[in-house]
Amino acid sequence: MAYENIDQLYINGARRPGSTGETREVIHPATGKPVATFSEATSDDTIAAIAAARAAFDNGHWRSFGTEQRSKILNQIADILTRDKDLFAEAESRDTAKRIIEAEYDMDDIISVFRHFANEVLKPHVREVNTGREGVRSRITVEPVGVVGMITPWNYPLLQASWKIAPAIAAGCTFVIKPSELTPSTTSMLMDVMTEAGLPDGVANAVFGAGATAGAPLSTHPDIDMVSFTGGLTTGKHIMANAAQTVKKVALELGGKNPNIIFADADLDVAIDNALTAVFLHSGQVCSAGTRLLVERSVHDQVVDEISRRADQIVLGGSHDEHAQTGALISAGHRDKVEAFVNAGIAEGAVLRAGGTRPTEPELRDGFFFRPTVLDNCNTTMSCVQDESFGPIVTVEVFDTEEQAVALGNDTIFGLAGAVWTSDDDKAQRVAGALRHGTIWINDYHPYVAQAEWGGFKQSGVGRELGEAGFAEYLEHKHIWQNLNPARSDWFPEGPK
């Protein structure tokens, strides 16, 4: 497939430029140079896309597609993505500057998501209810929620899109998606894949541009039945408030400030190695990154000394640099925020143990790079511990008891993910059960599978993605009560005529 005209909007099965002709450059973060130019949608363009999705849901033949047909389309999408995996990985790496090997891993995960929901839709989702009454049939059936507005982030563009698109197709919904204006390429390419897979016109629509214009109607327009958003807390609150005006269904996957707890009885070599991956993978631009390192006091020096030493050895570089271990931040503006975050932490009393600066290598100066950073001597009163940096920064706190570790791990407005490292399984299970976070790893960090739910407690979000619950987000449950022996109720008996 040529993937032509992916720089244009995709509405009702056709490519078209934005109505004003305005465009936006996509910048490669590792070089600071433009790599693509995309049409910029206005709110009117998005409203046109919503109208196409509404018509396809209400009047199109998409409603006649049964579960087997929808499953077949999802598997066909997975087949095409497998065929074109290299093209998608290259495009993803070009937009995000993540290493090509990471983009290839992402493609494997994306394919598995479509396969999962191709299987999930075939499971029985209708159930009979035992009412305890004779002559009654009571059933719970499911229907698609309707037209879905989707807004996705820049750190895992196609992966986050797949988490929304795959269950929406499985459920029989139609949708309009707006990817981040910083990383639109692979989401746009996916529109062509879905057309090739047999998805009818109008079911999938994509608009590109700024959230305030192109994205706003997706949470405000009355023809949108559900909005699914992945991104920052502030924007998530705004979307939730907008959606409340028409009481839309809302699914939000927001930020995290995730505790990675190392007890003294853990295999420290393994825990240290994984702590580096937990926070510095993709330069910390991961919502579930282990940005809060909680270390038992007796091993604090050993753990933090080694993490700091190894953080200073991490090699930064471009997408295809074979020696690079991590890449650039997404933009110059984001790097400025990360830099300010470190300086604020030091001003609060944190001790800089590694990084904290831009790299000095000449080949990195034009990109948006920042050294992996370790801030020691932190506590939960500091903003650097409470606020999400979304960068390569780990803060270190100490604890003395299991109870204190749990209290510290829960001392955050967020509740997305966390981990516990210990050789004591009973303790591991107790701590995992007590932490108020949506995913807990024991003696591991970062893995997930499409079959298991993903989402946060507290201000990390509303609802779940993936797993059975991630499919249920895109369904409405209907109760059908049938009286098999209808008769008069005589609740209001007839009086004299």
Instruction: List residues with catalytic annotation.
Output: 253, 287
> Which residues have CB under 8 Å from 57's CB, separation 6+?
63, 144, 146, 147, 173, 174
Tell me if 454 sits within 8 A of 408, measured CB to CB.
no
Using DSSP's 3-state secondary structure scheme, residue 141 falls into strand
**Side-chain-facing half-sphere of 200: CA atoms under 13 Å:** 19
Backbone φ and ψ for 424, nearest 5 degrees, come out as -95, 105
Q: State the DSSP code for 199.
A: P
Report the alpha-carbon distance of residue 429 to residue 198 in Å, rounded.
46
**Side-chain-facing half-sphere of 175: CA atoms under 13 Å:** 32
Alpha carbon of 149 to those of 51, 160, 191, 199, 401: distances in Å? 12, 14, 15, 18, 46
Tell me if 327 sits within 8 A of 283, measured CB to CB.
yes
DSSP 383-429: HHHHS---SSEEEEEEESSHHHHHHHHH-SS--SEEEEE-S-HHHHH
Tell me if 71 sits within 8 A of 40, measured CB to CB.
no
N-terminal to C-terminal alpha carbon distance within the chain: 78
Radius of gyration of the chain (CA): 25
Alpha carbon of 90 to those of 86, 104, 331, 366: distances in Å? 6, 8, 19, 21
Please, what sign has the CA dihedral across residues 181, 186, 189, 194?
Answer: negative
Report the alpha-carbon distance of residue 450 to residue 431 in Å, rounded.
25
Residue 88 CA, chain-centre distance (Å), reads 18
| Total H helices, total E strands in the chain | 15, 20
